[in-house]
């Protein structure tokens, strides 16, 4: 059984041209004029692009006393509905839990995925066991990225010595560290002060996490990565302070990547102020939404290339779950959804406004992250031999976003009422037509784990610090005594 996508215009990160695409099994077999196949998908008037890759999602994640409500089933269904064909989730070991044990828990959940997926491994504690298991995670489990939370003090947060040790271990293994960059000590202090002064509502969440906490942590992580001689990926870059640090690092030749979220690009801090409690609490996430000047900075970064990827940090909690934080904003589960809306919102506010070209749109939603994660051109490409993860994009199709018609399992949508123009006509996951004009034909369990091999050249970061220091073997001395 073959499928041909006919009459469309192919848009990749660097080319725009008219051609048909022949799909056999899971992959693209041929690209060219006048192809035929058993099934024909009409792409006339449409752009055919690599399916979106969302490198930042939290599906059924244990967090703040509950679990995020979208799991691998509803989350990946939402992804496909919006033209995203691969997600990368975060595997979070409990304190003292083996990384491999946590991975097997994640494998139990991800079997329900409708589209392909991978994991980042989080470093939530430090010790000899973690140091050793990191090698197995990279070499045997096919995971080449490790996440570090610089916030969530007393829970997920790692200390600087642990982060430095882990970054050095990443460098040895050909892996890349990721950071959630917020100064967790300052956040904890500001939160306590706000609460004791009687500020308990969701707007206080934003006051407790000003842009400076993000800028400081981003700078710190960049410097620590430089000393470890390893590239760095900064998740959910939300403000100019963080973007400025990334920009400067890149100008200095450091491989540092920044990832704005579609929420931060299109929703601002006014969502927290003079709004009913539920409205504001539903939008509580970390980092919080910022003002319009920060949004301009993020858009400029995408256009100029100083920021490379648009993600969602999809971490969806119901209104009921959010209400755990009535009377104490620090107990509102942090997180917002966006998986289904990332591509349509970015197209509407990026391509339709002229802020991004179509090719830049493909770069920041798919191709750049495929390269960064070392899965290009299996993913993120329209090439013979690549996985047939494709979206046939109808630039004329419009809708108003509403929780009533979404795939996500929660009872609201942070983009409720927003109009989008530009939506999938078809979404294909490894050749399987999974969405046709909003109609779901995806299959639970179709998704497969995507292995990501260690980096080679990319790990030779341009660290000046290493050159100034006597060569040394990192090995186990990287483990701080306090962490063992
Ligand atoms: N931020 C959120 O808002 N939710 C999940 C984790 C995070 O860092
Ligand atoms: Zn985060
Ligand atoms: Zn409201
Ligand atoms: Zn996250």
- Evaluate whether residue 282 is within a structural domain: yes
Q: Whose Cα sits closest to atom 5 in ligand 1?
A: 335
Enumerate the β-bridge partners of residue 439: 436
pLDDT digits (tens, 9 = 90+) for 292-337: 999 999 999 999 999 999 999 999 999 999 999 999 999 999 999 9
CB 236, CB 287: distance < 8 Å? yes
Question: With a 6 A CB cut-off, is 313 part of the ligand 1 pocket?
Answer: yes
Structural domain includes residue 89:
yes
Structural domain contains residue 33: no
In a domain, 240, yes or no: yes
In SS3 terms, 53-116 reads as EEEEECCCCEECCEECCCCHHHHHHHHHHCCEEEEEEEECCCCCCCHHHHHHHHHHHHCCCCCE
Whole-number pLDDT of residue 271: 98
Average pLDDT, integer, range 406-416: 98
Report yes or no on 478 lying in a domain: no
Mean pLDDT of all residues in 87-111: 97
Write down the mean pLDDT value for the chain: 95
Tokens of 431: 């050749």
Q: What percent of the chain has pLDDT over 70?
A: 94
How many Å apart are CA 448 and CA 303, to the nearest integer? 32
Tally the domains of the chain: 1
- For ligand 2, a single-atom ion, which residues have Cβ within 5 Å? 180
Give the range of the structural domain holding residue 112, as residue numbers without chain letter. Answer: 48-462
Q: Ligand 1 pocket, 150 CB below 6 A?
A: no
Which pLDDT score is estimated for 298? 98
Q: Is residue 379 part of a domain?
A: yes
Is 476 part of any domain? no
CA 279 to centroid of ligand 3, rounded, Å:
4
- Ligand 1 in reach of 312 Cβ (< 6 A): no
Residue 483 has pLDDT above 50, yes or no: no
**pLDDT tens-digit series, residues 174-197:** 999 999 999 999 999 999 999 999
Establish whether residue 335 lines the binding site of ligand 1, counting it when its CB lies within 6 angstroms of any ligand atom: yes
CATH label of the domain that carries residue 276: 3.20.20.140
Residue 418 lies in a domain: yes
Q: Which of 286, 287, 317, 414 to mutate to test the pocket of ligand 1 (most atoms within 8 A of CB)?
A: 286
Ligand 3 center from residue 79 Cα (angstroms): 25
- By three-state DSSP, how is residue 15 classified? coil
- Please give the pLDDT value at position 463: 59
Closest by Cα among 387, 310, 314, 305 to 345 = 310
- Check if the beta carbon of residue 359 is closer than 8 Å to that of residue 12: yes
pLDDT at 481 over 50: no
Does the predicted interface ipTM exceed a cut of 0.90? yes
Give, using CA atoms, the residue closest to atom 4 of ligand 1: 335
Indicate whether residue 315 lines ligand 1 (CB < 6 A): yes
Helix residue ranges, H only, 238-284: 240-251, 262-266, 277-282
Q: How many CB atoms lie within 10 A of CB 353?
A: 10
Q: 36: left (phi > 0), else alpha (psi -120 to 50), else beta?
A: beta
């Amino acid at each position: 059984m073959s499928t041909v996508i006919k009459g469309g215009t192919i848009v990749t990160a660097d080319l725009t041209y008219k051609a048909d695409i022949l799909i056999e099994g899971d992959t693209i077999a041929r690209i060219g004029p006048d192809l035929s196949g058993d099934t024909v998908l009409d792409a006339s008037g449409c752009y055919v692009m690599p399916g979106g890759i969302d490198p930042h999602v939290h599906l059924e994640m244990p967090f703040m006393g509950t679990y995020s409500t979208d799991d691998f089933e509803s989350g990946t269904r939402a992804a496909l509905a919006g033209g995203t064909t691969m997600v990368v989730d975060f595997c979070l070991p409990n304190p003292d839990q083996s990384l491999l044990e946590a991975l097997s828990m994640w494998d139990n959940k991800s079997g329900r995925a409708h589209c392909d997926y991978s994991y980042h491994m989080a470093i939530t504690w430090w010790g000899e066991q973690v140091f050793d298991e990191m090698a197995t995670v990279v070499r045997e489990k096919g995971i080449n990225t490790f996440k570090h939370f610089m916030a969530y003090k007393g829970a997920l947060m790692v200390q600087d010595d642990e982060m430095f040790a882990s970054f050095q271990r990443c460098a040895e293994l050909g892996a890349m560290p990721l950071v959630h960059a917020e100064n967790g000590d300052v956040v904890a202090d500001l939160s306590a002060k706000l609460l004791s002064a009687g500020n308990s509502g969701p707007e206080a969440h934003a006051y407790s996490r000003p842009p400076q906490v993000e800028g400081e942590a981003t700078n710190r992580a960049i410097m620590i990565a430089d000393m470890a001689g390893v590239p760095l990926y900064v998740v959910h870059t939300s403000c100019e302070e963080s973007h400025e640090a990334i920009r400067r690092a890149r100008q200095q030749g450091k491989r540092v990547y920044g990832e704005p979220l579609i929420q931060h690009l299109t929703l601002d801090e006014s969502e927290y102020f003079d709004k009913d409690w539920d409205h504001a609490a539903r939008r509580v996430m970390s980092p919080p939404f910022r003002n319009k000047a920060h949004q301009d900075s993020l858009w400029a970064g995408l256009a100029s290339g100083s920021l490379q990827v648009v993600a969602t940090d999809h971490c969806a909690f119901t209104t009921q779950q959010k209400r755990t934080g009535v009377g104490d904003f620090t107990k509102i589960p942090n997180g917002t959804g966006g998986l289904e809306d990332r591509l349509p919102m970015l197209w509407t506010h990026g391509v339709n406004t002229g802020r991004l070209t179509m090719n830049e749109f493909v770069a920041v939603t798919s191709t750049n992250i495929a390269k960064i994660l070392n899965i290009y051109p299996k993913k993120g490409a329209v090439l013979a031999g690549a996985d047939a993860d494709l979206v046939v994009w109808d630039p004329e199709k419009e809708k108003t976003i509403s929780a009533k018609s979404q795939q996500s399992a929660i009872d609201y949508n942070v983009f409720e009422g927003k109009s989008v123009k530009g939506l999938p006509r078809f979404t294909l996951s490894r050749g399987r037509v999974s969405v046709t004009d909003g109609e779901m034909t995806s299959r639970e369990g179709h998704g497969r784990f995507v292995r990501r091999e260690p980096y080679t050249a990319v790990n030779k970061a341009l660290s000046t610090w290493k050159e100034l220091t006597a060569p040394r073997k990192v090995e186990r001395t990287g483990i701080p005594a306090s962490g063992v």
